[in-house]
């Protein structure tokens, strides 16, 4: 039986594209839909390139359960947050227990929580003087970045690294590992 994924993304969509591409020729896994809360987000063009339906839902749609109804209708095996910046409502977590995962651009529990995304994380890592950073793939619960950790990968940092070079190193890890970890979760 084919496993079904729905991707939620707010921005450019490079991780979403890597996931869609990874599963494009799979008979075991299908990306059903991409959902974004941001009109004009790059993820729409990336999904269109692969023929994956992409839907815009404004923030209010998450609060009124319109998105929850959409998800219930599609019955996904996994909901993947790939650069999605809204907090997932508790009702979603209760309806899809251990079926919502997120990728975070740092080694949690460091640099997690409200407001800690993208360049904010990389600036904090740089300012701390840490000699390594990485990615964390985790289950989503009702709190920012506090769900059970599924996978982590790290990369070394040099004193000369700026937030932009840190971001480049972290993106390489995301693109390398996120689709593979999703595949492993779906095969369990």
pLDDT of 61 over the 90 cut: yes
- Non-local (6+) Cβ contacts of 3 within 8 A are 28, 29, 30, 77, 78, 186
The residues assigned a catalytic role are 104
Gap between the Cα atoms of 47 and 33, Å rounded: 8
Dump pLDDT digits (tens) for 77-125.
999 999 999 999 999 999 999 999 999 999 999 999 999 999 999 999 9
pTM of the predicted model, to two decimals? Answer: 0.96
What domains are defined for the chain?
3-187 (3.40.50.170)
Predicted local confidence at residue 177, as pLDDT: 98
């Amino acid at each position: 039986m084919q496993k079904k994924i729905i991707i939620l993304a707010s921005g450019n969509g490079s991780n979403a594209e890597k996931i869609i591409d990874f599963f494009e020729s799979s008979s075991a896994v299908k990306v059903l839909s991409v959902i974004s809360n941001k009109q004009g987000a790059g993820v729409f063009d990336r999904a269109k390139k692969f023929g994956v339906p992409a839907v815009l839902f404004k923030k209010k749609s998450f609060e009124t359960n319109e998105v929850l109804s959409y998800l219930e209708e599609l019955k996904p095996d996994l909901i993947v947050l790939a650069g999605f910046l809204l907090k997932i409502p508790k009702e979603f977590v209760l309806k899809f227990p251990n079926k919502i995962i997120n990728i975070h651009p740092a080694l949690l529990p460091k640099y997690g929580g409200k407001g800690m995304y993208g360049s904010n994380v990389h600036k904090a890592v740089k300012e701390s003087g840490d000699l390594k950073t990485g990615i964390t793939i985790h289950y989503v619960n009702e709190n920012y970045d506090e769900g059970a950790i599924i996978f982590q990968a790290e990369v070394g940092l040099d004193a000369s690294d700026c937030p932009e070079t840190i971001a480049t190193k972290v993106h390489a890890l995301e693109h390398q590992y996120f689709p593979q970890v999703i595949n492993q979760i779906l095969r369990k």
